[in-house]
Amino acid sequence: MLTKNKLKRVQILIPENQKEFLDSVAQSEDLSFSALVRIIFAQYQQNVLEQELAKTARSLYDEYETNQKLLAFTAIAGDDFA
C-alpha cells in the first residue's frame, strides 16, 4: 500500500490524551504509531474524495434534470443496446 509512495517525515503536536489513545489502539492492532496515523489519514483522505465525488455527481444530476438539451437523452437512457 505505502511502498508505492515515498514517505515524508512530518512532526505534529497532539494532546497527550490523544497520543495515549492512539498508542493503545496501535498496540492492540499490532501496528506502529506511524502506521496507524497513516491509516487514519488515508481513511480521511478517502472520505474527502468520496464527498467531493458525491457533490459533483449531485450537481451533474441537477444539470441533467434541468438542461433541455440533455433531457433529449432521457428517452434512450434505459435502452439496452446489447
Percentage of the residues of the chain whose pLDDT score is greater than 70? 80
Torsional class of 30: left (φ above 0), alpha (ψ -120 to 50), beta (otherwise): left
**What does the alpha-carbon distance between residue 53 and residue 66 come to, in Å, rounded to a whole number?**
20
Domain positions in the chain are 19-73
**Grid cell digits, residue 57:** 455527481
pTM for the full model? 0.66
Give residue 43's pLDDT. Answer: 98
Q: Is the pLDDT reported for residue 1 higher than 80?
A: no
DSSP 75: G
Percent helix, percent strand, percent coil in the chain, to nearest 5: 70, 0, 30
